[in-house]
Amino acid sequence: MSERIYLDYNATTPVDPRVLEKMLPYFTEVFGNAASNDHDFGLEAKRAVDNARAEIAKTMNARPDEIIFTSGATESDNIALLGVAEKYAHKGNHIITCVTEHKGILDCCQRLEEMGKQVTYLPVDEFGRVNPDDVRQAITPHTILISLMAANNEIGTIAPLAEIGTIAAENKTLFHTDATQAFGHIPLDVQAMNIHIMSISAHKLYGPKGIGALYRRRSSPRVQLSPVIYGGGHERGLRSGTLNVPGIVGFGEAARLARREMTVESARFHSWTEQIHGRLQMALGNVQLNGHPTERLPHNLNVSIPGLKARALIPQLKNIAIATGSACTSAKVEPSHVIEALGFGSERAHNAIRISVGRFTTDDQIETATERIIEVVRELRAINIITAP
């Protein structure tokens, strides 16, 4: 069997061996409860948590006491949206978001609407970008929160965060960003970008699954949130539950490594995604890029091959793991809401494939995978499973 090639780093990343090595002692040796400050076992665990908190804070230019550990970005999104909606109910009931957000945001917004809140879903342009002027115009005296993702998980488009942050600040509205795909991959500065609340997750940057964080600003302005989980009052009362110390240690190390390696890695990833795109374009003709040509995560490439459904192509690739732009619900295949939102019709969404590279990708893998995709598309075209463009 030929080597398996993983090109789905936007879905999740393997744990970096250096991260794992840091985590291991915290399962068996330093196993104390970080909240048990009566003895060394607990204090050692707390020190490790403090250290990780500082690393994560540093990576986004925040203060360590502004980091709340959660189980992942989905939970962080829930605390951000439900927490603001409840805490600021006396100020207003209107939230602004956008149509291409992750389910973690969209499903929370749906719940908020059921609870009587008003949600504005902004459209995006053909590259998947929200227009900052639309944000400005959507603000009403009742707006309490703008929640817009930092980088899209399907097409990689990066939002104009600093511009949106300025608009939020000018209008004294809170700004939350789901930065799950961006944190550790592109520079983020919560001060410079006027971000008040931010969701992140370790498993997108070579840390373990099941651990995430929420940045919550504590001054200018001091953001208040209602918790979603009640209990022992951990994490400043915002997220009760015994801390996942090994996960947190891993997250901290993953953030530290990302800070150190981001610039060099980004250049390598960008050259690979450009190479794949160029090669596919040359060999297959009209390949449509989904996402922004330049304001895009360097490790993401999402393209549609006209006439060829991703669901026909991907199984034929056998040992090459790439993603489709659609999701199977119980009854049928739903085209991606993100690619549909670009305005090119559902056909393009059904044809979308997402290729995402990462730290453990090699030149050879890029070469092999690209050639295999080209070969399979040609085979499928030849046997007329698809109509050529």
Ligand X SMILES: Cc1ncc(COP(=O)(O)O)c(C=O)c1O
Which residues of this protein are in contact with ligand X, per CB under 6 A? 72-74, 102, 104, 149, 153, 178, 180-181, 201, 212
328 is catalytic: yes
Nearer to ligand X, 201 or 244 (CB): 201
Reference 203, options 10, 3, 1; nearest CA is 10
Structure tokens at 324: 């489709």
Nearer to ligand X, 303 or 338 (CB): 338
**Rounded Cα gap, residues 195 and 192, in angstroms:** 8
**Shortest Cβ 59–ligand X spacing (Å):** 16
Hey, what are 171's tokens? Answer: 């209008």
N-terminal to C-terminal alpha carbon distance within the chain: 33
Report the residue number, 8 or 261, with the smaller CB distance to ligand X.
Answer: 8
Query: 102 or 196, CB closer to ligand X?
Result: 102
Least Å distance, CB 386 to ligand X, is 29
Q: How far apart are CA 9 and CA 207, in angstroms?
A: 12
CB of 209 to ligand X, least distance (A): 7
DSSP class of residue 245?
H
CB atoms closer than 10 angstroms to residue 14: 14
* Phi, psi angles (nearest 5°) of residue 40: -65, -35
Nearest to 203 by CA among 82, 298, 70: 70
Q: Judged by CB, which is closer to ligand X: 32, or 252?
A: 252
DSSP code for 174: E
Distance CA 331, CA 210 (A): 29
Least distance in Å: CB of 171 to ligand X?
Answer: 25
Q: Determine the residue with CB nearest ligand X.
A: 72
Candidates 98, 108, 109, 328; catalytic one: 328
Instruction: Give Cβ neighbours of residue 309 (< 8 Å, ≥ 6 apart).
Output: 350, 351, 386
Q: How far is the CB of 325 from ligand X (least distance, A)?
A: 14
User: Which residues are known to be catalytic?
Assistant: 328
